[in-house]
Structure 1
Amino acid sequence: MSLRSSLLPAIAVLAAGGLLSICARAITADPPATTPPAPATSTLGATTITAPRPATRIVLIGGKKSHDAGEHDYPNGIPLIAALLKASPAFAGAEVRAQTGGWPSDPAVFDGASTVVLYFDGVQEKPEPLIAAERIARLEKLMAAGTGIVCLHQASTVPKDNTTIPLVSWLGAKRNGMVDRTTETVTLKPATTTHPITFGVGEFTYKDEFYPTLMFNDDASRITPILRAALPKEKPEDRVLAWSFERANGGRGFGFTGCHYITSFDEPSLRTMVLNAIAWTAKLPVPAEGIQPQGTVVPKSVVTRAADRVNAKQAWGELFWHTSAAMKNSAVMTTGTVIIKPGQGNPRHYHPNCDEILSVVSGRIEHTMNEVTVVLEAGDTVSIPRGALHNAKNIGEVDAVLTIAFDSAYREVIGY
Structure 2
Amino acid sequence: MKFTLLFCSALLVGFSSLHSADRKLVMIAGPVSHPPLMHEFRAGSMLLEKRLQGVPHLKTVLVTNGWPTKIVAGKRVDDNAVFEGADAIFIYADGGPNHLAVRPERLALLRGLMQRGVSLGCAHYAVEVTPERGGAEWKEWIGGHYENAFSCNPIWEAEFQTLPVHPLTRGVKPFKTKDEWYFNLRFREGKAGVKDILVAPPSDAVRDGPYVYPAGPYPHIQAAKGRAETMMWAVERPDGGRGFGFTGGHFHLNWQNDDQRRLILNALVWLAKLEVPAGGVDSAPVTDEEARQNLDEKKQSAPRSAPSPAKT
TM-score interval (norm. to shorter): 0.7 to 0.9
Instruction: Go from structure 1 to structure 2 and tell me whether the alpha carbon gap of 1:163 and 1:227 turns closer, same or farther (over 3 Å shift).
Output: closer
Partner of 1:169: 140
Partner of 2:92: 119
What's the CA shift for 1:219? 6.0
What's the CA shift for 1:213? 1.2
TM-score (norm. length: structure 1): 0.56
Q: 1:109 aligns with which of 79, 82, 85?
A: 82
Between the two structures, name the one with larger relative contact order (CA 8 Å, sep ≥ 6). Answer: 2
Partner of 1:257: 247
Q: Which amino acid aligns with 1:115?
A: A
Please say if 1:227 is aligned against 2:217. no
Q: Which amino acid aligns with 1:201?
A: V
Deviations 1:60-82 (A, max 9, x none): 00111211111111121121121
Partner of 1:182: 154
Alignment of 1:246-395 (within 5 A): 246-294=236-284, 331=290, 354=296
Bigger Cα Rg: 1
Q: Which amino acid aligns with 2:34?
A: H
Q: Which amino acid aligns with 2:159?
A: T
State how far apart, in whole Å, the 2-side matches of 1:333 and 1:205 are.
22
Instruction: Go from structure 1 to structure 2 and tell me whether the alpha carbon gap of 1:164 and 1:213 turns closer, same or farther (over 3 Å shift).
Output: closer
Answer whether contact 1:199 1:289 (CA < 8 A) is retained: yes
Q: 1:83 aligns with which of 22, 46, 50?
A: 50
Please say if 1:100 is aligned against 2:40. no
State how far apart, in whole Å, the 1-side matches of 2:161 and 2:118 are.
28
Instruction: Go from structure 1 to structure 2 and tell me whether the alpha carbon gap of 1:273 and 1:333 turns closer, same or farther (over 3 Å shift).
Output: closer
Partner of 2:100: 129
Instruction: Go from structure 1 to structure 2 and tell me whether the alpha carbon gap of 1:93 and 1:250 turns closer, same or farther (over 3 Å shift).
Output: closer
Which SS does the other structure have where 2:51 is aligned? Answer: helix
Which SS does the other structure have where 1:176 is aligned? Answer: coil
Q: How many residues align?
A: 251
Partner of 1:382: none
Deviations 1:31-74 (A, max 9, x none): xxxxxxxxxxxxxxxxxxxxxx9521110001112111111111
Q: Which runs of 4+ in 1 moved over 6 A?
A: 295-298
RMSD value over aligned CA atoms?
2.6
Q: Which amino acid aligns with 1:255?
A: G
Which SS does the other structure have where 2:95 is aligned? Answer: coil
What's the CA shift for 1:189? 3.3
Unaligned segments of structure 2, at least 5 residues: 1-19, 70-78, 206-224, 300-312
TM-score (norm. length: structure 2): 0.73
Which SS does the other structure have where 2:201 is aligned? Answer: strand
Q: Percent identity?
A: 30
State how far apart, in whole Å, the 2-side matches of 1:163 and 1:267 are.
31
Instruction: Go from structure 1 to structure 2 and tell me whether the alpha carbon gap of 1:215 and 1:333 turns closer, same or farther (over 3 Å shift).
Output: closer
Which SS does the other structure have where 2:259 is aligned? Answer: helix
Q: Which amino acid aligns with 1:184?
A: W
State how far apart, in whole Å, the 2-side matches of 1:201 and 1:164 are.
30
State how far apart, in whole Å, the 2-side matches of 1:333 and 1:177 are.
31
